[in-house]
Each structure stands twice: as structure tokens, then as C-alpha cells.
Amino acid sequence: MHRILAIAGLGTLALAAPLAAQQPAPRFFVEGLAGVVVPTFDIADVATSGGAFGAAAGFRISPRWVLMGEFDYGMHEDEATGTVDINTSHYIAKLGYVLVPARERGWEVLVNLGVGAVTFDVDGAPDSYTYPAINAGAKIAYNFSRSLALVLSPQGDIAFSDEDEVTTSNAWVWPFTAGLRVSF
């Protein structure tokens, strides 16, 4: 009887390993991010680089295509005096294409394009200003397991702003963040 149970147990293990390898990758993920936001071109004359934090959520439409939503919050100071707080909020919907597919352990790389909005909130100003924006970037992840990864998220957001309100008609702001991704 012990031999039969041992053979049945080994047979179950032998079948379970290939079945586990065939399980599809998790379809949903969330990311917690932190890093820096860098203004460039004309907006760099107004605001300094500053700290950032954000979050992203994604859905794998197929093994190659990913639909994402991302929020980044940047904290800047004015360039002239360094005493006025300028905060930016980035709300972007993205479509990503996977260049290096996700594996249970190892690297994954995708590039993304998106649309959304960027809000500029200047300390002491009577109003905040929100403008339509476009996005281009990448997600570079190292998967520790099927459900946990370290992710780098270099992004570029261009807000189509009003020159009378924020001194430029196209504010280029670059969130560079890193964090953890949990997939389920």
C-alpha cells in the first residue's frame, strides 16, 4: 500500500509541474511608485526638479498588449526663489506594447503611449490649471515571481498649456519613478 501511495504521489507531482508552467500570467497589476519629476524646455525656467510619487494599474489584454492608468504627483519649487511650491498631477491612460514578455522570473520590457491631463497648482495662485496631455514612456520590470516585481517607469508627459498661465504653450514634464508591482 505504501508503494502504491508513493507512486501515486510521484505521478501527481510529475503531472503538476507541467500544468503549473502552463498557467497563464496574471492579467491585472498595480504599482506603487516614487522618484523624481523633471521639467524641461520652457517650463524648466519656472519650476525646479522635485520629488514624485504615484500609482499605476494595468490589465493585460493579450500577452503583447497592456492597458494602463497612471497617476503621478510631482512636488516642485519655483526656479527664481525656491520658495513657492508648484505641484503637478499627471493623469494618463496608456496602451503598452510588450517588447520582452513577462516571465515567472526575469526581465519584462514594454513601451507605452497615452493621453490624459496634467494639473499645475501654484502655491498662492487663485486657481490651478489643468491641460490636456500626451505621454510616451516605458515600464522595465524585474519579476521575482508571478506576482511580485521591481519596476522602473521612465515617462514623458507633454501638457498643452496656456502660455499666459504657466509661461509656455507646451510644458514638458518627465516623471522618472521606481517601485513595486503586484500582479494578480
Q: Which residues pair with 172 in a beta bridge?
A: 40, 158
Which CATH number do you get for residue 45? 2.40.160.20
> Would residue 147 count as lying in a domain?
yes
Are the C-beta atoms of residues 112 and 137 closer than 8 Å to each other? yes
Give the range of the structural domain holding residue 107, as residue numbers without chain letter.
26-183
> Would residue 7 count as lying in a domain?
no
Q: Is 50 left (phi over 0), alpha (psi -120 to 50) or beta?
A: beta
> Would residue 9 count as lying in a domain?
no
| Burial class, 33, CB count within 10 angstroms (exposed 0-12 / middle 13-18 / buried 19+) | buried
Mean pLDDT of 37-55: 95
pTM of the model: 0.83
Number of structural domains the chain divides into: 1
> Would residue 8 count as lying in a domain?
no
> Would residue 30 count as lying in a domain?
yes
**pLDDT tens digit sequence for 76-128:** 999 999 999 999 999 999 999 999 998 889 999 999 999 999 999 999 889 99
> Would residue 15 count as lying in a domain?
no
> Would residue 10 count as lying in a domain?
no
> Would residue 13 count as lying in a domain?
no
- Count the helices and strands in the chain (H runs, E runs): 2, 8
